Structure 1
């Protein structure tokens, strides 16, 4: 047994005690598979060290038992039972054509249609899948209310994505912010060789909450987003604070094997931030930070431009998006996806 395998065996004890089904280190699993293509066929290593990487864990699915008109309102997830799959019901009313959605875990019998309950006079489309968080609509029907953006297929790209959320006194802001990030991630391929997402909260300083390489699957990212803390207070962070944070964080990515990936930044700015936080962008900050290339910076102003002046950080005026309130964040999703991959 190799030294790395011994290390995995020791770390496994911690994982078992926690009662969780997670990889000891997903990046290490990827490296192990490069050295040993039969890693997932090895019953000891696959189950002990890399169960999620080798698809041995129960699935994590979008979970919303009650029907919702807007599928982005289904913001919770659930760990299924062993053998269950993720199920998506798309219900279309025979009366007026409106759509409703249910997302949950389902047995194989349910996926085969056994035991499905009628939902009145409606057409029902049922889809089951066997990947984490896969029970999410991939297209947006034209009959959804116009407040929901109708987008074409999302662009395909692989990026290091840093999301910065400015704290707000608006008590509803955090739930809309988290849902927006979940929607964004659901339209991207999350993985060690695809897109990775980091996140920081801007309150009296810049506080990193999710390191960009700490959650290397969509299910891990979704669960981490559910645990994000917000102070719900006035943000006093300055443009200089944000600039220095981005320079430091993105410059470190070359040490983590992500130097070849372009970097995209999304900032959600709040109009109630303290005016005292407004400082001009330091002249030495530009679109290139040391070892890593900064591809784009998109700033979403909620309720008006942030007094902190964060729009200065945007790549150009096309990368500044204004929305009326936090409930309207979802309307910017399509454009943000395009700008991330531009």
Structure 2
């Protein structure tokens, strides 16, 4: 009972901290805490406050965000996203010519009754197949077979059901969900021998009212799949603006997954209103974890590889590209650097900073951070 009360208090703290930024999002305040509460309280999803505000995703009260477009290939970069109405799922409709074999796709939302069980039929010279799934941005043309049973809002079980999948370029993860289930949509690294010191650098100019909440949700999803601990993976987080880097916590501050998730959920950033300088995180990483690494400061472990993630939506570069390249090359001798550019950012500069072209990632809009394919790609880079 004491544990349940403690979890409730932490959820309330997280809810109070980020209520301003949750207007445009529908996410569990802390997925780990919601899952633990569901184990101890079978009626969690019948509680109006908890099911609607603290744990709406776990209780099946969140509308899904899906890709929405007509496309002729597997590239969804030109697609828009759409928020589905209640009782609708993300859909991929594939039309294949039985004569030429050419495939054409339609992506969007579809009613449960159409998705239920999947549909495949032949019309004259065309074969039509519909696949549906129940995770945000899960409907890509790469999907083959996905969940066809959406989460229900009634709760009769206290168990938590998750399934994981091995990374693949041709399949999507299948999830089985109930009202207390927490679908795992990315590769699970908890049993991997890949321990890392991960330093996250977040662009502070991403608008707090929506952007940072979305970034925080993305980070919490990643943390759920990591083996967090003093002898496993540790995570530090900082934000940067036009002139400095602000450390929110160091690597050895949170050494269990629950406290780290709460720290991310309660993270509060204020938009400085100034375009950040991309040189700031590069300089800070080199100074703290490069030059000073032999001293083991800031919780940095000497025998564990460092991985830095720089997330930015806009930036300037106060130095020449050659200067950034020189400092970045020195930095790469100490750590692996992943860059995530959102929107119309300078690809050339981020490509120079990243470990290599595979570690320079780009998305068109913030919502794509929570796509299962994108999260899986980031996780796979940790150990590469």
TM-score by length of 2: 0.53
**Which residue does 1:329 correspond to in 2?**
369
Deviation at 1:207, TM superposition (A): 1.1
Give secondary structure in 2 for the equivalent of 1:99: coil
User: Are the equivalent residues in 2 in contact too, given 1:305–1:311 (CA < 8 A)?
Assistant: no
Deviation at 1:239, TM superposition (A): 3.5
User: Are the equivalent residues in 2 in contact too, given 1:303–1:325 (CA < 8 A)?
Assistant: yes
Q: State how far apart, in whole Å, the 1-side matches of 2:187 and 2:362 are.
A: 21
RMSD of aligned alpha carbons: 4.3
**Which residue does 2:307 correspond to in 1?**
264
**Which residue does 2:149 correspond to in 1?**
98
Deviation at 1:98, TM superposition (A): 3.4
Q: State how far apart, in whole Å, the 2-side matches of 1:127 and 1:80 are.
A: 9
Distance 1:188 1:253, change over 3 A: farther
User: Are the equivalent residues in 2 in contact too, given 1:58–1:79 (CA < 8 A)?
Assistant: no
* Deviation digits for residues 5-29 of structure 1 (CA, Å, limit 9, x no counterpart): xxxxxxxxxxxxxxxx9xxxxxxxx
Deviation at 1:175, TM superposition (A): 0.6
- Within a 5 Å distance, the mapping from 1:1-342 to structure 2 comes to 60=7, 73-76=27-30, 78=33, 85=40, 96=116, 97-100=148-151, 118=154, 126-127=158-159, 138=164, 140-141=173-174, 151-154=186-189, 156=192, 157-170=194-207, 171-204=209-242, 205-251=244-290, 252-254=292-294, 255=296, 256=299, 258-271=301-314, 273=315, 275=316, 277=318, 279-280=320-321, 281-282=323-324, 284-286=326-328, 293-294=334-335, 296-306=336-346, 309-331=349-371, 332-342=374-384
Give secondary structure in 2 for the equivalent of 1:300: strand
Deviation at 1:177, TM superposition (A): 0.6
Q: State how far apart, in whole Å, the 2-side matches of 1:250 and 1:86 are.
A: 44
Give secondary structure in 1 for the equivalent of 2:159: strand
User: Are the equivalent residues in 2 in contact too, given 1:239–1:308 (CA < 8 A)?
Assistant: no
Distance 1:80 1:299, change over 3 A: closer
User: Are the equivalent residues in 2 in contact too, given 1:236–1:276 (CA < 8 A)?
Assistant: no
Deviation at 1:279, TM superposition (A): 4.2
User: Are the equivalent residues in 1 in contact too, given 2:4–2:40 (CA < 8 A)?
Assistant: no
* Deviation digits for residues 54-109 of structure 1 (CA, Å, limit 9, x no counterpart): xx997749979xxxxxxx93233659999x74889788x9953332277xxxxxxx
User: Are the equivalent residues in 2 in contact too, given 1:237–1:277 (CA < 8 A)?
Assistant: no
Task: Give unmatched runs, 5+ long, in structure 2.
Answer: 13-25, 45-57, 61-86, 88-111, 117-147, 166-172, 178-182
Deviation at 1:323, TM superposition (A): 0.9
Give secondary structure in 1 for the equivalent of 2:327: coil
Task: Give unmatched runs, 5+ long, in structure 1.
Answer: 1-20, 22-55, 65-71, 103-117, 129-134
Distance 1:289 1:321, change over 3 A: closer
TM-score by length of 1: 0.59
User: Are the equivalent residues in 2 in contact too, given 1:238–1:308 (CA < 8 A)?
Assistant: no
Q: Count residues with an aligned counterpart.
A: 249
* Deviation digits for residues 23-48 of structure 1 (CA, Å, limit 9, x no counterpart): xxxxxxxxxxxxxxxxxxxxxxxxxx
Distance 1:333 1:101, change over 3 A: farther
**Which residue does 1:27 correspond to in 2?**
none
User: Are the equivalent residues in 2 in contact too, given 1:173–1:326 (CA < 8 A)?
Assistant: yes
